[in-house]
Chain A
């Protein structure tokens, strides 16, 4: 059962595709092992699963950085100039070469070590967070930083260390450019927050109660209308929602229902955005390194599109609010649609990133971006992180952190070795609006469509312009192709000011 490979001009490309398909199959297995461990695995299976994941991950790594693939890339070096640079083959060679060169520098032993450390640290993080005990997590954070340092040491010292990490998630992005964009955002956001922080918006009704059965039905209704089908999708429950795509035709979302808020709806729409991106990648790219979203930031741009640009829009709620009220007649009886939309868009500095509103969210990211750089540069000691965290939250958001569970321990990212990842969240916000402006310019009044329960037009536009390309184009180039411009914070700031500034 071999993949249906598009016609190829050179036999070496066929061989490269076959070798990469094997790697993709192992990554598929790894993805199912991971999904299962978070959704369905009995608790006692964790240790055995960690071993299986480590082995499959290591084999995928070894197969990918093999001499065989190196020789094929070398052989194809001569063919490359003759290829249409926009062709799948040219992109396949380019992306494979970039990753092969990068991954080849990382010894299998270190890759395995990092994987194992992640397993241990995330378990420790879970407990430390529950007990709000940073000291219990600190040794794991030390270990993660040490491994990151060893990882960085595998690369040219000429590069800024943080660049190396950042570019694992965002090809072509530099720390300097992120700093520039974030500075611009900070300058725009801080006064906006100052203006909005004391505005009286009633959102008491968002405390529910919202019975979970109703939330499930509401989530299902939204997803079905967005384009979810049982043929190719699943929706499950996990404490930390995520999206996963083990293979073509198999998109898996998770969400989390809590009776005293409606966050599950937004988390479901967020994960739908990640899922629909993977769903929309052209099927010809499956089982190749091109068969997934192009970068973390562009991925996040799509989750934020469906969560915020769609899911917190007036048009969306013109369609859905009457239905939501039927699901929760008690909690929402006396709440009108406009009050509801104001409530879910209330701007208020708060402690937890994932619950933050669209305006203050950026500052949560900026402070993490700053702390990560300081940690990696050795300018900040692990023991001093909570203090530094709390000071910065107070400085940027004007709120006091009562304990580390609501502070430095709130996110699992550092526990699973993700450094350089946080900035992509905020870049995603920025990109989401750049793409959105282009979509609206072509599609007209999309909110009017939403009000009719019509989301297919937007989804298909995004598929055509963003999703189907997979990783054929690096993120910067993709954004340029779609929007005609480079990464640019201005549309995002304009959007926030228009939506929040003039009320």
Chain B
């Protein structure tokens, strides 16, 4: 094992920080899944205390001194070794975390909590004004947050870096401009080629049957009771409060089948955490590398697997068996319906193509806000105008417009772009996988997902946070982040076929 006692000490301290993080993760999961509502106030306090202690424990002097001592080690050790990566990543995290005074972190956390509780009713009542003061407070705090760091090329860089370390705004802009250029005409082409009937996707779908089907699918993917849970919440999420402990949630709506895709999506997040090398556990390296790469995996299992022909060849008869109303619907018609491209108002319900326009719009507005080129008062108007411009849809009210997502209320600025980056990355990795697993479609048709999952585990998941996101993508795919494969995939799958 390790020989340097300082390194062992560092691991010990970082292990404790990780333990506290795991505890906070569990408190959060419990709050959403298990806790009786009456426990909310006490839980908020416990979460605030554990969160603050995690931060304090991490930015403590002893960790700083150990990192100083370990500079030589870091220089001399094999940069690919777990230990060198540990010191490198811990130093980067430490330097970032130490720049932000705990008082500001506390203020940000408090403001987000208040804004989030105001967001629910504001959305419900389509009342943007009710949320406005909270958004102003959040934005003001983000400005102060940005000031804690060396100025980047662009103000937005600092925010983006929290979610996609090392990524620059300019790089994202280039990728998104490319997407926009390709996707806007594609959406138009599809619109002109006539609509797809998906009316049978709405109606009464027994929730217990949905639950059973969701479990059947994720079990085929690799879910086991020994290591996983799948619970029900209003807003689906994935979390891992410990090694060997992966928790997904989904939402069984009574009148559609979105729970199936939500379950596969969360499985993708879960299997990434599940596959991180055990040696990296209880260190800062023991989780997914960035939100973009994480999202690439949720989108892989939701879309590249879960909306593929091969997947439904295997699962459609099983779905029909659970939902007799689908009896008369042909497999091909069902496949086309779950892949219907249609500009719409709500991001999370959007198809694979228009989804990206929802993201690009948010990415642009966020930059304008943080650079004070757009005032929060004018935000709804700007939102609505851009929805019309990009997707040709009219926003009837703010509930279905600017208030639909909780991110800005939660103070997450710079988060949205990672969703589309995830889409882009997902196809890059998928194409690389197909070079090795040449008959992947045939396997999926047989309901075989093991080889696919193992490929992803061996090539991507095991790496955890050892490398930067960009290095990770290059190691896996051999190239930098590139929207080419993604656009090709969308065209091949969804562009109207010449008759």
- Please determine whether chains A and B interact with each other in the same assembly: yes
- Distance in Å: Cβ of A23 to nearest Cβ of chain B: 9
Stretch of A148-156, A226-234, A258-266 with 4 or more beta carbons under 8 angstroms from chain B: A226-234
A49 interface hit (Cβ, 8 Å): yes
The interface stretch among B29-37, B154-162, B259-267 is B29-37
A246 touches B49 (CB 8 A): no
Chain B residues near A181: list those with CB within 8 A.
none
Interface contact A33-B23, CB-CB below 8 Å: yes
Task: Give which listed residue, B23, B46, B225, B227, contacts A247 with CB less than 8 A.
Answer: B46
Listed stretches A24-32, A132-140, A188-196; interface member: A24-32
- Is A392 an interface residue when CB atoms closer than 8 A count as contact? no
A36 at the interface (CB under 8 A from B): yes
In the assembled complex, how far is the CB of residue A136 from the closest CB belonging to chain B, in whole angstroms? 23
Q: Given A3, A36, A48, A287, which contacts B281 in the complex, CB threshold below 8 Å?
A: A48
Of chain A, the residue at the smallest CB distance from B244 is: A44
Most chain B CB inside 10 Å of its own CB: which residue of A1, A3, A56, A59: A1
Interface string of A172-187 (1 = CB under 8 A from B): 0000000000000000
> Does A335 belong to the interface (CB within 8 Å)?
no
Given A25-B50, A48-B245, A232-B39 in contact, is the A43-B226 Cβ separation under 8 Å?
yes
Whether a CB of chain B sits under 8 angstroms from the CB of A384 is no
Residues of A within 8 A of B23 (CB): 29, 33, 52, 55-56
Chain A residues, Cβ within 8 Å of B282: 48, 51
A42 contacts the other chain (Cβ, under 8 Å)? yes
If A21-B45, A29-B50, A233-B36 are given as contacts, then 10 extra A-B residue pairs at C-beta distance below 8 Å, sorted by A number, are A26-B49, A32-B26, A45-B242, A48-B245, A54-B19, A55-B23, A232-B37, A246-B42, A249-B38, A250-B39
Q: For the complex, what is the distance from the CA of A501 to the CA of B207, rounded to whole Å?
A: 55
Asked whether, in the complex, the Cβ of B36 is within 8 Å of the Cβ of A42, the reply is: no
Task: Determine if B390 is an interface residue (Cβ-Cβ < 8 Å).
Answer: no
Please report the C-alpha to C-alpha distance between residue A259 and residue B264 in the assembled complex, in whole angstroms. 36
A250 cross-chain contacts in B, Cβ below 8 A = 35-36, 38-39, 42-43
Q: Given A51-B15, A56-B20, A250-B39 in contact, is the A42-B227 Cβ separation under 8 Å?
A: yes
Q: Is B182 an interface residue (CB 8 A)?
A: no
Of all chain A residues, the one with the shortest Cβ separation from B43 is: A247
A248 to chain B, nearest CB (A): 4
A52 near B244 with CB under 8 A, answer no
Chain B nearest CB: distance from A278 CB in Å?
12
Q: Which residues of A contact B242 (CB under 8 A)?
A: 41, 45, 48-49, 52
Contacts of B131 in A (CB 8 A): none
**By the criterion CB–CB under 8 Å, are B27 and A32 in contact?**
yes
Question: Which chain A positions have C-beta within 8 A of B228?
Answer: 42
> What is the minimal beta-carbon distance from B12 to any residue of chain A, in angstroms?
10
A249 and B40 in contact (CB under 8 A), knowing A1-B48, A28-B46, A45-B227? yes
* B256 interface contact, C-beta 8 A: no
**Is B96 engaged at the interface, CB distance under 8 Å to the other chain?**
no
Query: B15 contacts which chain A residues (CB < 8 A)?
Result: 51, 55
Q: How far is the CB of B34 from chain A (nearest CB, A)?
A: 7
**Docked complex Cα distance between A1 and B113 (Å):** 10
Q: How far is the CB of A192 from chain B (nearest CB, A)?
A: 42
Q: How far is the CA of A115 from the CA of B126 in the complex (A)?
A: 51
Find chain A residues with CB under 8 A from B27 CB: 29, 32
- 15 A-B residue pairs with CB within 8 Å: A26-B49, A32-B27, A32-B30, A36-B30, A36-B34, A42-B246, A44-B244, A47-B243, A48-B242, A52-B22, A55-B15, A231-B38, A248-B42, A249-B40, A249-B41
B46: chain A residues at CB < 8 Å are 25-26, 28-29, 32, 246-247
A306: min CB distance to chain B, Å: 20
Bound complex: CA of A420 vs CA of B164, how far in Å? 54
Q: Is B16 an interface residue (CB 8 A)?
A: yes
Are A41 and B245 within 8 A (Cβ)? yes
Q: Does chain A have a CB within 8 A of B110?
A: yes
Query: Judging by beta carbons under 8 Å apart, are B37 and A231 in contact?
Result: yes
A286 at the interface (CB under 8 A from B): yes
Contact string against A for B residues 196-230, beta-carbon threshold 8 Å, 1 for contact and 0 otherwise:
00000000000000000000000000000111110
A40 to chain B, nearest CB (A): 7
Closest B residue by C-beta to A55: B19
Inter-subunit contact B229/A247 (CB<8 Å): no
B103 to chain A, nearest CB (A): 15
| Chain B, 110-163, CB within 8 A of any chain A CB | 110, 113
Q: Is B333 an interface residue (CB 8 A)?
A: no
User: A25-B46, A25-B49 are contacts. A45–B39 as well, Cβ < 8 Å?
Assistant: no
State the interface size on chain A (CB cutoff 8 A): 41
A48 touches B243 (CB 8 A): yes
A231→B41 CA distance, assembly (Å): 13
Tell me how far the C-beta of A111 lies from the nearest C-beta in chain B, rounded to whole angstroms: 15
Q: Min CB distance, B158 to chain A, in Å?
A: 27
B-contact 0/1 string along A222-254, CB 8 Å cutoff: 000000001111100000000000111111000
CA distance A42 to B50 in the complex (A): 23
Pairwise interchain contact B245-A45, C-beta atoms closer than 8 A: yes
Interface residue B53 (Cβ < 8 Å from any Cβ of A): yes
Q: Which residue of B lies closest to A248 (CB)?
A: B42
- Which residue of the partner chain, among A22, A52, A233, A234, contacts B19 with CB atoms under 8 Å? A52
List residues of chain B with CB within 8 A of the CB of A22: 49, 53
A25 & B45 in contact (Cβ 8 Å cutoff): yes
Beta-carbon nearest neighbor of B243 in chain A = A48
Q: Is B374 an interface residue (CB 8 A)?
A: no
Question: Which of A3, A43, A48, A246 has the most C-beta atoms of chain B within 10 angstroms of its own C-beta?
Answer: A48
Residue in A closest to B113 when the chains form the complex, CB atoms:
A1
B-facing residues in A273-291 (Cβ within 8 Å): 286-287
Among B30, B36, B49, B225, the residue within 8 A (CB) of A249 is B36
Q: Smallest Cβ distance from B134 to chain A, in angstroms?
A: 16
B473 to chain A, nearest CB (A): 28
Asked if B234 is at the interface (CB within 8 A of a chain A CB), the reply is no
Question: Which of A29, A54, A247 is close to B39, meaning CB atoms less than 8 Å apart?
Answer: A247
Does B241 interact with chain A (Cβ within 8 Å)? yes
Instruction: Note all chain B residues with C-beta closer than 8 A to A247.
Output: 39, 42-43, 45-46
Report yes or no: A55 in contact with B245, Cβ–Cβ below 8 A: no
Binary B-proximity of A1-21 (CB < 8 A = 1, otherwise 0): 111000000000000000001
Neighbour of A42 across the interface among B16, B35, B45, B245, CB < 8 A? B245
Q: How far is the CA of A250 from the CA of B35 in the complex (A)?
A: 7
Alpha-carbon gap, A22 to B113, bound state (A): 19
List chain B residues, Cβ under 8 A from A25.
Answer: 45-46, 48-50
Contact flags B39-65 to A (C-beta < 8 A → 1, else 0) = 111111110111001000000000000
Between A36, A44, A45, A233, the greatest number of chain B beta carbons within 10 A of the residue's beta carbon is seen for A45
